Amino acid sequence: MQQRPSPKHAYRAPGRTESEEASGVLRGKRMIYRNLDERAHLRSPKHLLRWKLGLGPEPRRVAPGRCPVPAVHNDGRALAEALTPSLTWIGHATYLLQLAGRSVLTDPILSPRLGLLSRNVAPGLSWEALPRIDVVTVSHNHFDHMDRPTLVRLARRSPRPAAVVPLGLARPMRAWGFDEVAELDWWGTARVRGLDVTLVPAQHWSRRSAFDQDKTLWGGFVIEGGGLRAYHSGDTAYFSGFAQIGARVGSIDAAMLPIGAYDPRWFMREQHMNPEDAVQAFVELGAARFFAMHWGTFKLTDEPLDEPPRLTRELFARRGLDAARLVIPAVGETVALGLCSELAALGLAQPLADLALDDVHRLLLEDLEDERHVELELHLAGPEPHPALEAHPLHLERHVGLGRALPGRGWIVLGELGPVGLERALGGRLRELGGQIVRDGVLHRPRTLAKLRA
């Protein structure tokens, strides 16, 4: 595991010196961590009591503790080999992210209860349906994001996953059974199981007991692999850091953002986003797609459990944002990323599992008239890369979409044509798999499109 720490002066708040950590200040022998803008939080027992007794500045809303939310059965068979880049919502802030043949579990909580709270909906993947997990990320130490029973059970799996955590959390993770742990400050990056994982700022706080407030760091994660980049915010309020994250890490293909646990605003504003905040954060990140999370699983706050997705959709429409960029998955639903998602939007993702090579090509030619989409399929079945690949630089700007294995036909890789050119869309995944290119063994260029159609 390679770990690259961040410079200590990165994005420090006004008034901090370069001798201080980017995210904290040393008090005595302990580091106390702070947010970028150092805004105060209403999180004392006094404020909590005011909220629970309905003595806040706003009338307290009352909503049922349980509510039907969309859920689908997922037996995990399509996820077992991590063949297709995708996101599967398991519930709360737990997503299964699959990139570059690796599986990442974010803020995993598969337990049936959170203290006195029972789950409103079962996890979208059962323990038996989970694929091999390569990496676990934990954004902070609150119990609904750092669930000890789930993490202990994950650490007992074989092979054991690696873990990436903010400063101060490596010790408990190792105590719970993880032996490969990267502990990061904001903007620090670790190379873990072939993925680049960067901890980025969030607007939140930490506490696990009465005596450890803000003594461990919190944050979000940017995870990169196979030419795709995903962002998981963890718990966060709205803050100026979203624009900084988008500017610093580059284009984000999928942003997992919380839309629930926001009411009452006088208490939650400085620690959780509401849908309006989340949509603004998405815009400032400049991400391609918004994946909603942190709603419908546990009744943590006062808003109705099913309110967040409705408000988020309304806000998208009100702001004139493309509805196709908003993804609010059902619990257990798997959503393809990158080029595979374009096929899914056109209704082609499912047929690919059952069609032969020639049928796939026919569908593409008939249905994908826009040359920005797919026009060629590459059959990877040989033991070595085809010599034609050596003649073309495979500079990865975006990604390739990797279809499912077809019986007796090897892999189907769908290369994107258009302004970027096929060689830029293929990326390193082709070299990784090896094989040969069909269509006479030549790397076709966009100008050959008319011949292919003929």
Same domain, 313 and 411: no
Could you tell me the two tokens for 29?
Answer: 């022998």
Residues 327 and 377 in one domain: no
Look at residue 206 and tell me whether its pLDDT is greater than 50.
yes
Domain count, the chain: 2
> For residue 267, is pLDDT > 70?
yes
Q: 439 pLDDT exceeds 50?
A: no
Percentage of the chain beyond pLDDT 90 is 50
pLDDT at residue number 321: 92
189 within 8 A of 196, measured Cβ to Cβ? yes
ω before 159 within 30° of 0 (cis)?
yes
Q: What is the pLDDT, as a whole number, of residue 209?
A: 86
Contact criterion met (CB below 8 Å) for 300 and 144: yes
Please say whether the beta carbons of 133 and 161 come within 8 A.
yes
Give the least confident one: 103-117, 375-389, 438-452: 438-452
Single residue among 306, 336, 366 that ends a domain in this structure: 336
Residues 374 and 328 in one domain: no
Q: Are residues 218 and 184 in the same domain?
A: yes
Is 9 among the domain residues? no
Residues 346 and 325 in one domain: no
Q: What is the DSSP letter of 317?
A: H
pLDDT of residue 95: 98
Q: Mean per-residue pLDDT for 64-70? A: 92
CATH number of the domain within which 307 lies: 3.60.15.10
* Mean pLDDT along residues 403-412: 30
Q: How many residues does the chain have?
A: 454
Residues 256 and 145 in one domain: yes
Lowest-pLDDT range, 101-110, 222-231, 309-318? Answer: 222-231
pLDDT band at 133 (very low <50, low <70, confident <90, very high): very high
What is the pLDDT, as a whole number, of residue 98? 94
Lowest mean pLDDT among 7-21, 172-186, 190-204: 7-21
The torsion angles phi and psi of 299, rounded to 5 degrees, stand at -85, 85
**13 part of a folded domain:** no
CA angle centred on 249, ends 246 and 254, rounded to 5°: 65
Task: Point out the least confidently predicted range of 2-11, 279-288, 399-408.
Answer: 399-408
pLDDT number for residue 363: 39
Residue 246 belongs to domain spanning = 24-336
Residue in the structure block whose two tokens are 């993947």: 125
**Predicted confidence (pLDDT) at residue 445 exceeds the cutoff of 80:** no
Same domain, 302 and 394: no
pLDDT confidence of 25, banded at 50, 70, 90? low
What does the pLDDT read at residue 125? 98
The pLDDT of residue 4: 59
Residue 4 lies in a domain: no
Distance CA 436, CA 126 (A): 38
In a domain, 426, yes or no: yes
CB 239 within 8 A of CB 257: no
Answer whether residue 81 is part of any domain: yes
Q: Is residue 14 part of a domain?
A: no
Say if residue 251 is in the same domain as residue 157: yes
pLDDT of residue 317: 95
29-58 confidence digits (pLDDT tens): 578 898 987 765 656 677 778 877 888 888
Residues 321 and 174 in one domain: yes
Same domain, 220 and 95: yes
Co-location of 214 and 253 in the same domain: yes
Give dist(CA 389, CA 366) in Å, integer.
Answer: 27
pLDDT in tens, 150-175: 999 999 999 999 999 999 999 999 99
* Average pLDDT value over all residues in the chain: 75
Q: Is 17 within a domain?
A: no
Q: Are residues 139 and 270 in the same domain?
A: yes
Half-sphere exposure of 28 (CA within 13 A, CB side): 2
| Local structure of residue 71 (DSSP, 8 states) | B
Lowest-confidence region among 95-99, 289-293, 385-389: 385-389
Q: Is residue 114 part of a domain?
A: yes
Report pLDDT for 343.
43
390-401 per-position pLDDT tens digit: 333 222 222 233
Q: Among 336, 361, 392, give the residue marking a domain's end.
A: 336
Domain edge (last residue) among 314, 336, 358:
336
Range with the lowest mean pLDDT among 9-13, 69-73, 100-104?
9-13
Q: Is the dihedral of CA 341, 343, 344, 345 positive or negative?
A: positive
> Which tens digits make up the pLDDT trace of 209-253?
888 888 999 999 999 988 889 999 999 999 999 999 999 999 899
- pLDDT in the model for residue 59: 85
Looking at the predicted structure, is the pLDDT value of residue 8 above 60?
no
- pLDDT at position 12: 32
Question: What is the DSSP secondary structure assignment for residue 263, as one 8-state letter?
Answer: -
